[in-house]
Amino acid sequence: MKINQKLIYYRHQNNLSQEALAKKMYVSRQTISNWETGKTYPDIQNLILLSNIYQIKVDDLVKDDIDLMQNNLSKFKIRELSVGLIATLIAVYASFISIRWLPISIASMLVATFTTLGVLTSITLIKLSNKLHLQTFKQTMAFLNGKSVEQIKYDQKRRRHILIISAFIGIFLGSILTYLIAVNFLGWTL
């Protein structure tokens, strides 16, 4: 149960109107309404005061919301890392193209820098996925969309085959893209 639902529940359990609770807490009735509709969140002092009024622990009010906040933070991190991974991939190829205009030593350093950033981003994304027990793309997408991950089962053998095939396709497409850039943009003859 979310905190706004808990606030309504405990207020009803204690036979208090929003107006009566507001008077006890020295806040406006609108503030109580905003908490109960989820528009705002009570600060720590008000949470302590609420727990005293209702004679419960603060943890009883916020426990589920803490899990929800951690979940939302993990979703944000996965999205952020995914965008970062795509950006570094684009930057690597842009740096490779820059060999045409920049000295090769500078362009090479750019390629190496962006490649390193991409590898570090990938490792961070993999660690976060493992921590969240996300083992397939379908599970990751379900997690990002707020659906249950446990319902999506995966076959270890099938996953291994997909990873191997994906790796070969990635190497193949990367090689073709590198070849096309080298021949068409940089004027290399191979």
Read off the pLDDT of residues 62-118 as tens digits, 9 standing for 90 and up: 776 666 667 777 888 899 999 999 999 999 999 999 988 899 899 999 999 999 999
Rounded CA separation 102/96 (Å): 10
By residue count, the chain amounts to 190
- The model's pLDDT over 129-139, given as tens digits with 9 standing for 90+, comes to 888 877 777 77
Q: State what percent of residues in the chain have pLDDT above 90.
A: 46
- Smallest CA-to-CA distance from 34 within 53, 8, 16, 61 is with 8
User: What's the pTM?
Assistant: 0.56
Q: What is the pLDDT of residue 155?
A: 63
